[in-house]
Chains A and B, each alone.
Chain A
Amino acid sequence: MNNIMRMLIGSILICLFINVSVFASSEDKPMKVTYGRSIDDLPLYVALEKGFWKDECLNVELVRLVGAQNIIAAALHGDIDAGHLDPGGAFHAALRNIPVKIVAWLGHAHLGTHCGLHADAKSDIRSIYDLKNKKVAESGDITTAMILTETLAKAGLTSTDINSIKGIHLDDAMKHEAALRSKGVDVIVA
């Protein structure tokens, strides 16, 4: 009888131990959030460094991942818990009925914003009205297409008035500088 009692209690304890372990591991599992390793992700760095998520009993891990399709795929696959998307990516996700929701926006442009069209400092390009026939480097993504189109329209121009060079990305600061200095391009959308 004693042996049976001991086996029974032992089995219960093992079950309890397994359940507690599973619970603990799910609680300790970090919440994985994507970021682009840019200055624009500052709120994420601050929340980590100031312990704002730790105060909420959350273990958040930043995962560097770029590209809307990659980020959405990672989320749907369960590799990440939250991701960042530009508005264009969010609109297209909604268009395709992808089951994700934007729960917060991560900032907007303002009067002090310096992202935009940059000309070589030594060039004679002084304003957007000097863009005609110039070589303009851009990433080719939706954001730069929008900004460029609106800017050209303000100057009374269209995309056919410039020589667009696609493939340079917003976060390639060193490449931007090199491209301008080499005179390979006249203007960069960055």
Chain B
Amino acid sequence: MLEMHGASRLLTSFNDAIPGYIFAGLFFTDEYLKQNPQKVKAFLRGLVKAFNYIKHNEKEAREWIPKYTGVQRDVAMRSALRKFDDGREPAEQIYRQQEIMIKIGKLPNKIPVEKFVDYSYLPQKKIIGEVK
């Protein structure tokens, strides 16, 4: 966004620093998952459809950015988007990010991925058709 206003020059990106850097995840409480597994699955089906929609209809998808963020349309249409796949990320990448945190003193030790990640509510790729 800064570059678009002519204010800055990108020296290096997050991807240059940590390739494939995972930005964020979406969580539910264990209790909610236990009590509402079908709702969570339905929610994730909708979310993965949105990932696919953005992949195949990026321009149309970007049109909704101003409404929800207040960002100007010209910026919304040109800003870099994250890469959205199917909601899963390789465990190796998650551990790589943990290792960097440990190195800089932000995490005491490695934490098994299965302790805080559960992909079982996500749809299989074959079930969700691509929305075009």
Residue numbers of A with Cβ under 8 A of B are: 31, 33, 35, 37-47, 49-50, 52-53, 55-58, 60, 62, 75-76, 81-88, 90-95, 99-121, 123, 125-128, 131, 142-143, 145-147, 149-151, 154, 173, 176-177, 180-181, 187-188, 190
Pick the most buried of B25, B61, B69: most chain A CB atoms within 10 A of its CB. B25
B89 at the interface (CB under 8 A from A): yes
Secondary structure at chain B's binding surface: helix, strand, loop or mixed? mixed
For chain B, residues 92 to 124, give those with C-beta under 8 angstroms from any C-beta of chain A: 93-94, 97-98, 100-101, 103-104, 106-108, 111, 115-119, 121-122
Q: Lowest 8 A-B CB distances belong to which pairs?
A: A107-B82, A104-B87, A94-B116, A52-B46, A118-B8, A102-B25, A116-B13, A56-B42
State the Cβ distance, A60 to closest chain B Cβ, in Å: 7
Q: Which residues of the other chain, A, contact B94 by a CB distance below 8 angstroms?
A: 87
Q: How far is the CA of A33 from the CA of B83 in the complex (A)?
A: 21
Instruction: Give the complex CA separation of A187 and B9 in angstroms.
Output: 9
Q: Which residue of A lies closest to B31 (CB)?
A: A99
Question: Please, could you name 16 A-B residue pairs with CB atoms under 8 Å apart, sorted by A?
Answer: A43-B47, A56-B45, A87-B22, A88-B107, A100-B116, A101-B117, A102-B117, A108-B85, A109-B15, A109-B18, A117-B11, A118-B3, A128-B12, A147-B17, A149-B103, A173-B2
Decide: B111 and A39 in contact? CB cutoff 8 A: no
Cα A49 to Cα B57 with chains together (Å): 13
For the complex, is B5 an interface residue (Cβ under 8 Å from A)?
Answer: yes
Contact status B25-A42, CB under 8 Å: no
Q: Which residues of A contact B3 (CB under 8 A)?
A: 114, 118, 121
Q: Which of B61-100 contact A (CB under 8 A)?
A: 61-62, 64-65, 67-71, 76, 79-85, 87-89, 93-94, 97-98, 100
- Contacting residue for B106 out of A83, A100, A145, A177, CB 8 A: A145
CA gap between A108 and B24 in the complex, in Å: 8
Contact A180 B7 (CB under 8 A): yes
Set A37, A121, A123, A125: member contacting B6, Cβ < 8 A: A121
Asked whether, in the complex, the Cβ of B43 is within 8 Å of the Cβ of A114, the reply is no
* Majority secondary structure, A binding face: mixed
Within 8 Å CB of A60, what residues of B?
43, 46
**Contact of A121 (CB < 8 Å), options: B7, B14, B18, B80:** B7
Give CA–CA (A105, B40) in the complex, Å.
Answer: 14
Q: Which B residues form the contact surface with A (CB < 8 A)?
A: 1-3, 5-33, 39-40, 42-51, 53-54, 61-62, 64-65, 67-71, 76, 79-85, 87-89, 93-94, 97-98, 100-101, 103-104, 106-108, 111, 115-119, 121-122, 131
A2–B22 alpha-carbon span in the complex (Å): 70
Q: Are B39 and A188 in contact (CB-based, < 8 A)?
A: no
Q: Which of B12, B49, B70, B80 contacts A37 (CB 8 A)?
A: B70
The distance from the CB of A172 to the nearest CB of chain B, in whole angstroms, is 11
Question: What is the minimal beta-carbon distance from A113 to any residue of chain B, in angstroms?
Answer: 4
If A91-B101, A146-B100, A188-B8 are given as contacts, then 10 extra A-B residue pairs at C-beta distance below 8 Å, sorted by A number, are A39-B81, A52-B47, A85-B26, A90-B27, A103-B40, A104-B122, A120-B8, A142-B101, A154-B17, A173-B1
